[in-house]
Structure 1
Amino acid sequence: MSSLRRQLWQQTWPMAIGVLSLLGFQLVDSAFIARLGTQPLAAQSFTFPLSFLIIGVQVGLGIAIAALISRTLGAGDTARARRLGSLVLVGGSALMALLMLLMWAAQTPIFTLLGADAPTRDLIRAYWGPQLVANWLGAVLYFGYSLFRAHGDTRLPGKLMVLTSLLNLGLDPLLIFGVGDWSGWGLPGAAWATALAFAIGIWQLVARLRAHDWLARHGLRDELRASAVPFMAIAGPAMISQLMPPLSAMLATSIVAKLGETAVAAWGLASRLETLSLMVVLALTMSLPPWLGRCYGAGDWPRIDALMRLAARTAVIWQLGLGCIMALAAPWVAVALSGNPEIRDELATLIRWLLPSYSLLGLCMLVVSASNALGWPVRAMLLSFMRLFVCYLPCLAVGAWLSGIFGVAWGAALGNVLAGGLAWSIFRRSLTQRMAVNGET
């Protein structure tokens, strides 16, 4: 077990540092925008659900990339793994470009449905174009990360996440607030800072890819015909699973929007803080599936069982400890993130309730990620649906109806706890049955 723990640590810590830096700059990004005023921060917060939707598509494709290539490598077929690497990088980038165009064309009806008024939509329009460019560059970069992770290299993605985060942090104040006589670009400056940072990251990634024999130029057409169905069998349910959170975020934002602009701004900051606080879980969902995929390809189910127990223990202990500390420090964290007293009070309330509940949310995220890697993509999709639409949103809506922002906080927390407990019990039952079939229990 100590050897397994050491291997898990070696695979996860580079991604944890990378995720921390990436999510940290997003939180600081929102903190900079908060200095522009409540309305710009609310405008950015309205874009989060669509940004999460875009990220959901890219993560779904990335899950399929890592799962299929790692299984192929586990079976010893490196030539096919090279062909798959080339196909997913080109095809994924083209698909994401099409999605960005659709997001731009449909922005007005979507943001209107989310509850943004006309002045806020004007702010969003100036920001949304460069943000879509940044999202596309980020997706291309993520596909490159997935290729490295599938080959067991988590160090380079972690390093590039740190690099792009530092670049973004340096560019943010310059492009948002300007320097000297130049007053900067305001809210759109935050998006351009991210786009420039991601572009530099892609340049570095391409340079590193040239040093590896992981891509192929020949046999791609035949491979496309042979692999399209198995790839979509993973990517389809995985994308649906990943699209559920942004859909849920849209519905949650529309619920919170009824409580006022200040509540939306506080909810947006809490959403950024959520992803930052889940950095270890997110790192595990990136580093663990390729490892599980290689074990799956080799038929090593006892190792899969040991890995999942260790990862679940790590996630719950880390998140619960961090959540309790953040709950105690909620007033000071809120002051650091916002200069508006009303936003600070509502944000502190959200932090106190939500952060401890992420221990069970993280467990659910691990189960969904592992299920995709282990050949259960439909089950992963159903677990995501259960978490969001059976547990999370109903509890949040009832809480908001009963007691405003305080109800939103405890309702969302209760939904997270219910989802994590149910997901883990279902996963353990499925894994036990599979090992019994193989005679390994």
Structure 2
Amino acid sequence: MAAVMHQRELAITLWRQTWPMAIGVLALLGFQLVDSAFIARLGTAPLAAQSFTFPISFLIIGIQVGMGIAIAALISRALGAGEGERATRLSSLVLMTGGGVIGLLALALWVFHVSIFQLLGADDTTLGYIRAYWAPQLLSAWLGAMLYFTYSVFRAHGDTKLPGKIMVLSSLINLVLDPLFIFGLGDWQGWGLPGAAWATAIAFAIGLAVTSYKLARRRWASQYGLWLEAKQSWRPFTGIAAPAMVSQLMPPLAAMLAIAVVAGLGESEVAAWGLASRLETLSLMVILAMTMSLPPWLGRCYGAGDWEQIHQLMGLAIKVALVWQLGLGIVLAMGAPWLAMALAGNPDVQSELTLLIRFLLPSYAALGVCMLVVSAGNALGWPLRAMLLSSARLFVCYLPCLWLGSQFFGWWGVAAGGAVGNLLAGLMAWYVMRRILSRPHRQAGYAKST
């Protein structure tokens, strides 16, 4: 009975820590899907152009997430050690550094964007749409990164509610501005595809203004002693951020290779793949929220040597992932034709998207298991193994199955190959986790020695 009560308490605590981020992630990913749904009404060519930009946008997101992991880790450690003033210096320092890094990356992506998108398979018509869209999209990406960095500071201080609220606020603003900027009002015809990027940029700018004001009010940032703090903290920051960024950069690299495979099948296939990518992240909202809320809890257990609770937490998290994600995937697969009709206006895109939904969405249960194990790795002292697992998921399981499917069975093979790749990745992650957790003391010693 006591064990049952303990499990119930763990589940309640996990829910309380996860739900604010889940709502925020739902809102954030929801407005990205709304963007694509509105753009789909412009035609297949604009939607395909936006789909080509997804892997590059994921590249920026991968770098910002890796830096955000380091931000939250360093600030939370400083707070735990009672070094409040250092925590404020770190907040300012990492916000300035992150803004500079993402800004330089955005500039480089603008300068070389023609060559990049040609390598991905974009034709001249698609490049014309991308040119008009890419500058405001890069601006919105920079603003979104700065907003994410402020979220990391709040999470390091134990506040997950404000980031969740700001995600919802920015999503609502984007929802209102999207149709206005894309289609216009009255005699004004709107901006078309670039209008979606401008709507996002304004929504992020308002969210950033609110979080910056809150940071200033709470005095969680300081402008004094930044140079000395930079000399002291750059090594630990790089030590955390570098492997995290490498791990986060592998999905966008895999996405680039995947879009190159799909581009050989046709424009409508690229458009359907882009919509499926948006739907993937939205359907994984609970898993994504758990990857944010679970690692700090696991880290505290790891520091206390409480491997029994680590076993219980990972077991509970994987059960939630399997039950929730498989149930959601089956329901959405059953409603695939209607969901595709709501997202895409072109009948060809609807048909191709329906096939992707039926195969891929149930397989995200296995993908969710792999994501949870990778995120737990950084908290449990095996970041290198987590990085290798993430790499194997993409380049050993997912991409080979996707490519083989496309070569032998065309579009049907792409859908089935992606699903098989996700299933293999989930089984591999489950096996790795069982082996590591079966030897906790050895793993703890290994982590400390490295």
Q: Distance in 1 between matches of 2:232 and 2:133?
A: 41
Q: Is the 8 A contact 2:340 2:353 kept in 1?
A: yes
Aligned to 2:417: 411
Aligned to 1:166: 172
Where in structure 2 are the equivalents of 1:117-196 lying within 5 Å?
117-196=123-202
Aligned to 2:18: 12
Aligned to 1:231: 237
Deviation at 1:288, TM superposition (A): 1.9
Q: What number of residue pairs does the alignment pair up?
A: 439
Aligned to 2:324: 318
Q: Is the 8 A contact 1:63 1:372 kept in 2?
A: no
Aligned to 2:4: none
Which 10-residue stretch deviates more, 9-18 or 82-91? 82-91
Aligned to 1:25: 31
Aligned to 1:241: 247
SS in 1 for 2:217: coil
Q: 1:25-81 CA distances to partner (integer Å, 9 max, x unpaired)?
A: 111110100100000000000000100111111011111222333344444444433
Which 10-residue stretch deviates more, 379-388 or 189-198? 379-388
Q: Distance in 2 between matches of 1:374 and 1:69?
A: 18
Aligned to 1:262: 268
TM-score normalised by structure 2 residue count = 0.94
**Cα distance change on mapping 1:43 and 1:224 into 2, 3 Å:** same
Q: 1:161-197 CA distances to partner (integer Å, 9 max, x unpaired)?
A: 0000000000000000000100000000000000000
Letter in 2 for 1:82: T
Q: 1:191-236 CA distances to partner (integer Å, 9 max, x unpaired)?
A: 0000000000001101211232433333333332222222211111
TM-score normalised by structure 1 residue count = 0.96
Which 10-residue stretch deviates more, 69-78 or 240-249? 69-78
Q: CA RMSD of the aligned region, Å?
A: 1.7
Letter in 2 for 1:373: A
Deviation at 1:296, TM superposition (A): 4.0
- Tell me whether 1:215 sits opposite 2:221 in the alignment: yes
Deviation at 1:391, TM superposition (A): 0.4
Q: Distance in 2 between matches of 1:433 and 1:273?
A: 38
Letter in 2 for 1:47: T
SS in 2 for 1:36: coil
Aligned to 2:377: 371
Deviation at 1:435, TM superposition (A): 3.6
Q: 1:317-349 CA distances to partner (integer Å, 9 max, x unpaired)?
A: 110110010111111101111111111111000
Q: Is the 8 A contact 2:298 2:376 kept in 1?
A: yes
SS in 2 for 1:211: helix
Q: 1:84-130 CA distances to partner (integer Å, 9 max, x unpaired)?
A: 22221111111111110011011011100111001110110100000
Aligned to 2:106: 100
Aligned to 2:71: 65
**Cα distance change on mapping 1:66 and 1:428 into 2, 3 Å:** farther
Which 10-residue stretch deviates more, 214-223 or 421-430? 214-223
- Tell me whether 1:348 sits opposite 2:343 in the alignment: no
Q: Mind listing any 5+ residue stretches in structure 1 that lack a counterpart?
A: none
Which 10-residue stretch deviates more, 351-360 or 370-379? 370-379
Deviation at 1:267, TM superposition (A): 0.4
Aligned to 1:334: 340
- Tell me whether 1:396 sits opposite 2:387 in the alignment: no
Letter in 2 for 1:125: R
**Cα distance change on mapping 1:276 and 1:420 into 2, 3 Å:** same
**Cα distance change on mapping 1:359 and 1:437 into 2, 3 Å:** closer
Deviation at 1:287, TM superposition (A): 1.8
Where in structure 2 are the equivalents of 1:269-280 lying within 5 Å?
269-280=275-286
Q: Distance in 1 between matches of 2:84 and 2:297?
A: 16
**Cα distance change on mapping 1:84 and 1:427 into 2, 3 Å:** farther
Q: Distance in 2 between matches of 1:79 and 1:297?
A: 24
Q: Is the 8 A contact 2:18 2:289 kept in 1?
A: yes
Letter in 2 for 1:172: D
Q: Distance in 1 between matches of 2:393 and 2:48?
A: 26
Which 10-residue stretch deviates more, 368-377 or 18-27? 368-377
Letter in 1 for 2:254: S
Q: Distance in 1 between matches of 2:319 and 2:236?
A: 32
Letter in 1 for 2:238: M
- Aligned-residue sequence identity (percent) comes to 67
